[in-house]
Amino acid sequence: MLIRNKLMLRFTLVVLAIQVSFSAFIYYFNASTRAQRFEHRLGTSVTLAARLLIRPGKLETGKLGSLRRRDLLTLTNEQISIYGPDGNLRYSSADDIDQALNQAHLASLRPDQPTAFATGQQRETVGMGYRHEGEQYGIFVSAEDQVGWARLHQLGLLLLVGNVGALALTILAGWYFAGAALAPVARISRQAGRISATSLGRRLSEGNGRDELAQLARVFNEMLAGLEQAFEAQKSFLAHASHELRTPLTTLTGTLETALAYDDNLPAARESLAHSLDAARHLQSLTASLLALAKADGTLPTFTPVRLDECLNQALDFARAKYPGRDLRLAFGTLPNEPEGDIFMLPGNAELLTTALLNLLDNAAKYSAGPVVAELGYASPATLRVRVTDAGPGLSPDELSHIYEPLYRAAGAVGRPGYGLGLPLTQRIVQRHGGRLELASAVGEGTTATVWLPALPV
């Protein structure tokens, strides 16, 4: 069901429930008022009959004189029955009155305490005891409240027609207001439908910028900005990757074709094979780096407790073996006071963390003219920090803004080994471990790479 229909249905049901409840209250209040009013009129007739018939003693003598039976009747289809102290019927306003219900209630009558009960579909009766000269008489007066019932029937019909009309108006109002409330959603839907992979630069209208729909549009716009950035990074990555892969492939193919066409002796063939092997190794190394980057973006194995100091020591050993002439130092920063367990522990994957730290050390050792310092410590009781500082040429602000793009290489990296995949890979490994990586650099002052990672309690 469409949201518009759901809103209209719920709005209609709520309004209908309020209308029906209010109408039922009005009808019940009027019905109760009618019953009380008519009961009071019947009680007045009981008192009048007692004063006119019992007090003057006309029932004892059996002579009504000039008073006829119908002279006492003032209500529509009124009937009066009077029982003597002995329980026998002494007077009735008509001979065809059914006395069964009157006799059933006769014993419960009390003086000045009217007893009301129904004797038909619209006929109502009030009975009351009346004491005269030490003896109690029972008086019953019944009548039909035709005017009261007619008014109540008119009120019920009016409420019914009013509720039906109000229901129709509620449905129309619900349809209109639901459509008006969802119009911004329809607009956002139309705008989003016009956005594709080739037009990610478009943005959704944020309306007044204050309500929930504006917040939703803002979230969509932020998501589109992220998607646009990801698509641009992917396009740049594909462009650079195709170029980087094409170069060794072209070299390998050209060398082999030249060797096949022109090499006619063993030394020339060996030279061609050596060039081909270098190109193949270059291609293998580049492919391995691209696969590592894809692995960091894919599903990671289940994290286990890892000692970050062991990962850093292993990365330092690899870097010292690769750069034997470089001074690589390990230092310790702030440590927890009186730890109860092992320190430098975090949940993660040791292989990936070692790879990330080795990439930072490799970059520092590759470009640094002085010692490289790797500092391990705690930034807070729940955060581990690794800081790698070099004395290299540094990076400009423009180069820093592109440093995490795959296959991007700064101006100082030209002519040096590498493919521009180390920092992007390191950043993604750190992010997948719930941490963050920041680079601070200035031209001629070196570079500092800082990694923050969530630590296990110590």
User: Which CATH number covers residue 371?
Assistant: 3.30.565.10
3-class state of residue 321 by DSSP? helix
Reported pTM: 0.48
Q: What is the CATH number of the domain that holds 286?
A: 1.10.287.130
Residue 63 domain-assigned (yes or no) = yes
Task: In whole angstroms, give the CA distance from residue 141 to residue 92.
Answer: 10
The pLDDT tens digits of the residues spanning 312-371 come to: 998 888 888 888 888 888 998 888 877 766 888 999 888 888 888 888 888 888 877 788
The answer as to whether 188 is a domain residue is: no
In a domain, 225, yes or no: no
Domain holding 310, by residue range, is 304-454
Residue 190 resides in a domain: no
Q: What's the CA gap between 43 and 441, in Å, rounded?
A: 103
3-state secondary structure of 74: coil
Number of domains into which the chain is organized? 3
- Chain-centroid distance of CA 62 in Å reads 86
Considering the domain architecture, whether residues 324 and 450 belong to the same structural domain is answered as yes
Domain identity same for 440 and 378: yes
| pLDDT (0 to 100) of residue 415 | 46
Query: Which CATH number do you get for residue 115?
Result: 3.30.450.20
Q: Which of 3-12, 279-288, 321-330 has the highest mean pLDDT?
A: 321-330
Residue 210, domain member (yes or no) = no
Q: Final residue of a domain: which of 98, 128, 151?
A: 151
Cβ contacts of 80 within 8 Å, gap of 6 or more: 45, 49, 72, 73, 91, 92, 93, 139, 140, 141
Are residue 275 and residue 404 in the same domain, yes or no? Answer: no
Residue 267 shares a structural domain with residue 340? no
Write the single-letter amino acid at 323. Y
Question: Residue 360's Cα: distance from chain center in Å?
Answer: 41
Residue 182 has pLDDT above 90, yes or no: no
- Mark which of 297, 312, 346 sits at the end of a domain: 297
DSSP H or E run through 348: strand 345-348
Report pLDDT for 414.
45
Q: What pLDDT shows up at residue 286?
A: 58
Look-up: residue for tokens 């619209």? 122
The answer, yes or no, to whether residue 244 has pLDDT greater than 60, is no
- Residue 159 domain-assigned (yes or no): no
Helices (H), 194-265: 212-262
Tokens standing for 223?
Answer: 């998501």
Handedness of CA 219, 220, 221, 222 (dihedral sign): positive
Q: Is there a domain that residue 257 lies in? A: yes
Do 313 and 440 lie in one domain? The reply is yes
The reply to whether 308 and 444 lie within a common domain is yes
